[in-house]
Amino acid sequence: MSNHLNKDQIEYFKKRLLDMKEDNEEKITENRENSPNDNIQELADYDNHPGDMGTEQFEQQRDAGLNMVREERLQDIEDALKKIEDGTYGLSEKSGKEIPVERLEVLPTARNLVEEE
């Protein structure tokens, strides 16, 4: 099946996806490096209010959740880049129909047409 995107459009989306990948990887790394795990012992060394530990645990759980979302997004980006390599980028995984360029502009990792979601 031929792809409706021309070579310039494919290159444009590939660059966007690579930029998104780099940004996501940086945020995941930053989050791991700034993990509050190091701060928990620091908090334990002081006579702090119990609420401080609760706040720290909340932040740790929030950061872990954000990282999980970023890792899922990273996988979507890598899947889209693989589709570019395979020549199937911009085609619905469900129907094989062309995904409109407007949808790809908004969501470069789109797997299906809006009505197929």
**Could you tell me the pTM of the whole model?**
0.77
Three-state DSSP class for residue 108: coil
The string of pLDDT tens digits covering residues 13-65 is: 999 999 999 999 998 888 777 765 544 444 454 555 556 667 777 877 888 88
Taking a C-beta distance cutoff of 8 angstroms, is the pair 9, 15 a contact? no
For residue 111, the 8-state DSSP code is -
Would you state the pLDDT for residue 1?
Answer: 42
For residue 99, the 8-state DSSP code is P
Please give the structure tokens belonging to residue 65: 């959740």
